[in-house]
Amino acid sequence: MILEILFLSLFKLTTMKTYLVEFTLSDGTKEEVKLITDRLEWSIQQWGRNRNVIDHKIISEGSNNSKQMLFG
């Protein structure tokens, strides 16, 4: 029982979602990107790290129907 609780606290199952996000770059161009994540804001920040993103808009959100094991 203790081992099971420890296992569940170290690993968690999460459902990933699929997002279609439209990014607007500083030169006015728009780029649509498909992100599969359980951490949308973090993923948007990471995608835009080395790009000149001035805005983003979530176009669609859906279920990915796959479960991933995360460590943490």
Domain range summary for the chain, segments of one domain joined by +: 15-64
pTM: 0.70
pLDDT for the residue 10: 54
pLDDT tens for residues 20-64? 999 999 999 999 999 999 999 999 999 999 999 999 999 999 986
Sheet order of strands, 30-37 included: 30-37, 11-25, 53-71
Tokens of 63: 């279920």
Q: How confident is the model at residue 70 (pLDDT cuts 50, 70, 90)?
A: low
